C-alpha cells in the first residue's frame, strides 16, 4: 500500500517498486524501499545535504558533491535545490540512520501526490554530473546503478566532470601524492598482489615503498570473496578504485568493501 504523503509525515510506510528511472536510454525498475521519514524542504546546505521542515538535517548517502572551495560547488547546491524545492520528500535508510554529525544518512526520493516515487535524488545528482559515487561498507546500496550513471556523465563531460578537480587519476605516485588527504578515483594496472600478515596489497608499481597501493585488511577479505573478487589473482587487471588517499610509504587507499573497486578495460580519458 502506497503512502498518502501529505497526511503521513514522520510515519513508517512501505513503498513498492511501482515506478521507474531512466539511465542511458534504459528504464530501470524502482528498487523496493521502505520510507520512514517524510517532509518538505526547509533549506539547502550544500550539494549533498539539506534540512527538512521538521528540522531534520539530511545527508544524501553514497554520493559526494563538490565542497565549498571546489569547482561546481555552487552549481551542485543549485541543482539539489531545483530537485527538492516544493516537493514532497521521502527518506529510506539502507544502513545506519544517522551519521556522526547526527544527520539522517538516507536515500532520498521526491514523491508524487499518491506517495509513489518520482525521482531518486542520488541518481539524478549523479546523472546531472553534480556528484561522485562514494560508497561505504554499511550503506553500499544500488552502487552499480549509480556507477553506471556516473560513467555516462563523465563520458559526456557533464557538470563537475569538466573540471580537473574531479578527473580520474592515474596511479603515478608523485602526481597522486598531491592529493593526499582527499577523496579520489584512481584507475590503473595492477603490477602485483601480495599477502603480508593480515593485509592484502595491490601494487600499481614495482616499488611498494613509493608507488601507489590499494590495501585490504584480512577482516574485509570475505566481502570481496562473496563478490567473487579473487584478491590473489589480480596481477595484470585494470581496476578503478575510489576512496581517501593517504600516505604510507607511497600513496595508499584502504578499501573495506568491494563496491569501491571496479574492473575496467577503458583507457583513462
Q: At what angle do helices 121-128 and 73-84 cross, to 10 degrees?
A: 140
Closest to 55 measured CA to CA, from 43, 64, 63: 43
Q: Are 246 and 181 in contact (CB under 8 A)?
A: yes
Q: Which of 34, 67, 158, 238 is catalytic?
A: 67
For 179, other C-beta atoms within 10 Å of its C-beta total 15
Q: Which of 12, 26, 43, 59 is catalytic?
A: 59
- CA 229, CA 255: separation in Å to the nearest integer? 13
Q: Which of 12, 85, 98, 103 is catalytic?
A: 103
103 is known as an active-site residue: yes
59 is known as an active-site residue: yes
134 is known as an active-site residue: no
CA atoms within 13 A on the CB side of 113: 0
Which residues are catalytic, by number?
A: 59, 67, 103
Amino acid at each position: 500500500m502506497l503512502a498518502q504523503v501529505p497526511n503521513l509525515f514522520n510515519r513508517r510506510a512501505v513503498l513498492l517498486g511501482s515506478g521507474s528511472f531512466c539511465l542511458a536510454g534504459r528504464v530501470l525498475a524502482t528498487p523496493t524501499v521502505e520510507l520512514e521519514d517524510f517532509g518538505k524542504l526547509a533549506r539547502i546546505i550544500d550539494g549533498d545535504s539539506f534540512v527538512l521542515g521538521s528540522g531534520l538535517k539530511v545527508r544524501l548517502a553514497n554520493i559526494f558533491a563538490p565542497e565549498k572551495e571546489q569547482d561546481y560547488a555552487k552549481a551542485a547546491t543549485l541543482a539539489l535545490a531545483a530537485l527538492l524545492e516544493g516537493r514532497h520528500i521521502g527518506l529510506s535508510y539502507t544502513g545506519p540512520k544517522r551519521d556522526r554529525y547526527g544527520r539522517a544518512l538516507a536515500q532520498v526520493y521526491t514523491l508524487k501526490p499518491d506517495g509513489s516515487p518520482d525521482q531518486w535524488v542520488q541518481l539524478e545528482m549523479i546523472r546531472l554530473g553534480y556528484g561522485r559515487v562514494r560508497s561505504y561498507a554499511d550503506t553500499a546500496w544500488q552502487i552499480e546503478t549509480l556507477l553506471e550513471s556516473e560513467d555516462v556523465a563523465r563520458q559526456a563531460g557533464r557538470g563537475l566532470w569538466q573540471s580537473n578537480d574531479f578527473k580520474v587519476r592515474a596511479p603515478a605516485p608523485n602526481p597522486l601524492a598531491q592529493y593526499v588527504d582527499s577523496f579520489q578515483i584512481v584507475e590503473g594496472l595492477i603490477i602485483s598482489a601480495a599477502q603480508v600478515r593480515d593485509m592484502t596489497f595491490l601494487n600499481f608499481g614495482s616499488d611498494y615503498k613509493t608507488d601507489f597501493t590499494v590495501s585490504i585488511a584480512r577482516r574485509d577479505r570475505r566481502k570481496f570473496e562473496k563478490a567473487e573478487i579473487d584478491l590473489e589473482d589480480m596481477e595484470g587487471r585494470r581496476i578503478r578504485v575510489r576512496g581517501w588517499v593517504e600516505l604510507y610509504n607511497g600513496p595508499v587507499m584502504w578499501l573495506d568493501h568491494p563496491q569501491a573497486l571496479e574492473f575496467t578495460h577503458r583507457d583513462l580519458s
